[in-house]
Chain A
């Protein structure tokens, strides 16, 4: 089980690194916003697998709450893009 969890964590870490390279090379702000979203969801996945690795009892609660409040970061970024206008 721990090997499987390690493989998943490594894949998600590579996804975060690829996204951060994309942030460095992107020219427009919209791409940076969506890459920020990608890093957020990859970090949720990594936290889930780390919780499974240490036999935490709040794995499902953590992923449920973070998926519910994930919209706040995206909406904040989109408000920043439009300079506060809706």
Chain B
């Protein structure tokens, strides 16, 4: 591969991915609670890190030439980043809610605190009513 083309592609993908990670780090100052921080962290793992993987693959392509193993590992790394980070974010947000982390007071509608209108919220552990 042409050296200038490889440098340009590594620059575009690498710098864009790094900037996305930096932007999601800066966005953690804008939002106010843990759930929103988990939410704004998703672009870093779902888009920023895969772009860095693409930059690394382009660099490998320029350095060592085409290789099916490298392509397979790069595709697997992107899939792993997307799938694994989604599951990890889900687990972290679930445990964050379960452990009672505070949610910003202006969160509306907050379906976890109040059920939507029209839904009858029955207590499943309540003793059954005895009819006459």
A and B bind: yes
Size category of the B interface is: 35 or more
Q: Does B110 sit within 8 A of A, measured CB to CB? A: no
Q: Which residues in chain B, 108-126, are within 8 Å of chain A measured between CB atoms? A: none
A54 to B77, alpha carbons, bound, how many Å?
Answer: 21
A34 to B96, alpha carbons, bound, how many Å?
Answer: 10
Q: Which residues in chain B, 39-91, are within 8 Å of chain A measured between CB atoms? A: 41, 44-45, 48-49, 52-53, 55-57, 59-60, 63-64, 70, 73-74, 76-77, 80-81, 84-85, 87-89, 91
Q: Does A52 contact B49, Cβ atoms closer than 8 Å?
A: no
A45 to B22, alpha carbons, bound, how many Å?
Answer: 12
Q: Is the interface of B mostly helix, strand, loop or mixed?
A: helix
Q: A-B contact count, CB below 8 Å?
A: 174
Which of A11, A14, A27, A74 is in CB contact (< 8 Å) with B15? A11
Which of B22, B33, B37, B53 is in CB contact (< 8 Å) with A15? B22
List chain B residues, Cβ under 8 A from A77: 92
Q: Does A75 contact B60, Cβ atoms closer than 8 Å?
A: no
Q: Does A59 contact B15, Cβ atoms closer than 8 Å?
A: no
A48 to B21, alpha carbons, bound, how many Å?
Answer: 14
Q: Does B92 contact A34, Cβ atoms closer than 8 Å?
A: yes
